[in-house]
Structure 1
């Protein structure tokens, strides 16, 4: 029955392809959560013991019950269930978990596509391969190489999911634009996307180590580096520590100091705390109104429907616990003391009225990095949308700079 397609409510679960759909539309879920859901549905006739599920997640390595709880929460959210309601996945105290929804077998699934080499997943996209490497502390990092031509490495940022980005309106145009005439190397940050969600550490040094592990695994010696949003700070730190490897640096919507670090006056500190508290409340409660406000800072000129889509995408990319941790850490990130050590030519592009990161941060980066040039574009979006007039201008400046 391993190759069956199960129906429950408006959901369809193809256990062979590890694919969950809702009303015919694929639901993007972290792979471990899909595996967990498939196992529970297959064995819905019994309570699945906790050690069995931990063994399924770990596949030979140690996994904590906290990690299992996080994965279960993700699986529940994907099918519209919660730990409090438990309409579909029930917790059986001191024993384990059981899928209690009314599931029927629709059909046997057709044969799956050929399995890729161990550690590598070929996507349906042309010339794209997702691979995995290990960071210095052993954390599993997922990275993808796409396209042909000279390389461009993009640091991870808030938030990505390698398996979703090509079809997500928020990122699809970035992907298409950045792969034009070049090979793009991108990766999921530790704690989100296809990378490992159970965090050992989450410091700036950890994030720089993750980037270094990816470029080493990709076999790159010297390359241009793109940092977007908080990924800009990681890019600056990497370029400062590895000047021999970074040929050119591009920073957009970036900052040297996080929101709490750059606050100078009482008013700025109060504003930073209010903003952080709203973000914390949204991630803790998963309340749509809080998450919509948070999304509106990234996509200021978008519609409420687009903000909701962004919020839904975030819920698919990481757990609420990790979302909170990211918010706290990024508010305190600081590379202002090492930015002067960046020696490569640097292009800084920023929206004049960025609603998330003030333009003063772009000015600060330009003053700190010796060989830098600053371009300010009209607009309020923190992340350029496909419809943003600044988007083609950004790509034009990027292409010219990398071709010089």
Structure 2
């Protein structure tokens, strides 16, 4: 395949026939990126531009999400790993570097554990480690409420929408933007950044989100997972925004397990570190490309 700076956009067909939206651009080492969620869509357009001189970046929407074909699942890590393998095979027939953000960091790690021979390096961004939810969930909820609570009217509206049994699509977008304002260290620009995350808006696949989060609660935090990470013979860079509302200490278990790991903490960034420290983020990713 011939790559150009302007890139290519189309679909990749998974082995069960589901069509996945994908886009490749840039030049250099292939870097397939896995967006957060679960149940969201690719928000890496800025990252692709930031890294375009370092790598051929591949963005994609996970099954049933964003611009990918709406389907009935299945909503399992095994299925999503197979989808990622279809994207990888289409854009990088040999090996690729992987970058995953938040839930996407878990997916990228799961893929690397399943297919280490197909991965050249892993960039693990703003994940929650390999321990149980107890390592991070309580502190995350406390920090979320504190940040949203900085603006009483915003908090009241967020609470009203959170407690509503059903939301319209417009209300779902409003709720998401209100919640996403908590993800940024720069509190003045947080509403602007959160609005940008929701533009374009494709709707949250809540069924997908609930199923994959439930699977994580069952499967994460096991001795088997820790042992598998200890055996992962790949260069890994962990990139954290120090001001992420998910406690960064939750990632310590993963850092301790990995044999080839470097950790970069960006002090003035939150959950989307490339937004608030693009230079630091680019430099961190460049270390493994």
| TM-score bin (small chain) | 0.7 to 0.9
Name the structure with the higher helix share: 2
Determine the structure 1 residue equivalent to 2:134.
263
Determine the structure 2 residue equivalent to 1:233.
106
Determine the structure 2 residue equivalent to 1:306.
192
1:196/1:257 Cα in 2 relative to 1: closer, same or farther (>3 Å)?
Answer: farther
Q: Per-residue deviation at 1:185? A: 1.4
Alignment RMSD (CA, Å)? 3.3
TM-score by structure 1 length? 0.56
Q: Does 1:360 align with 2:241?
A: no
Counterpart secondary structure, 2:287: helix
Instruction: Within 5 Å, give how 1:171-186 maps onto structure 2.
Output: 171-186=44-59
Q: Structure 2: give runs of 5+ residues left out of the alignment.
A: 146-157
Q: Aligned residues, how many? A: 259
1:292/1:145 Cα in 2 relative to 1: closer, same or farther (>3 Å)?
Answer: closer
Determine the structure 2 residue equivalent to 1:383.
272
- Would you say the 8 A contact 2:123–2:238 is kept in 1? yes
1:280/1:190 Cα in 2 relative to 1: closer, same or farther (>3 Å)?
Answer: farther
Asked which structure has the greater CA Rg, the reply is 1
Superposed CA deviations along residues 248-288 of structure 1, whole A, max 9, x for unmatched, are 11111012358xx42269x939959x98x969657942256
Determine the structure 2 residue equivalent to 1:317.
202
Q: Per-residue deviation at 1:220? A: 2.1
Superposed CA deviations along residues 312-347 of structure 1, whole A, max 9, x for unmatched, are 437x223x4x13531552365255514334210111
Instruction: Within 5 Å, give how 1:4-403 maps onto structure 2.
Output: 127-158=6-37, 159-161=40-42, 171-257=44-130, 261-263=132-134, 268=138, 271=141, 281=163, 284-285=166-167, 286=171, 290-302=175-187, 303=189, 305-306=191-192, 309-310=195-196, 312-313=198-199, 316-318=201-203, 320=204, 322-323=205-206, 325-327=208-210, 329-330=212-213, 332-333=215-216, 334-336=219-221, 337=225, 338-355=228-245, 357-386=246-275, 388=276, 390-402=277-289
Query: With CA pairs under 8 Å and 6+ residues apart, which has the higher RCO, 1 or 2?
Result: 2
Q: Per-residue deviation at 1:292? A: 3.6
Q: Structure 1: give runs of 5+ residues left out of the alignment.
A: 1-124, 166-170
Q: Per-residue deviation at 1:137? A: 3.0
Q: Per-residue deviation at 1:232? A: 0.7
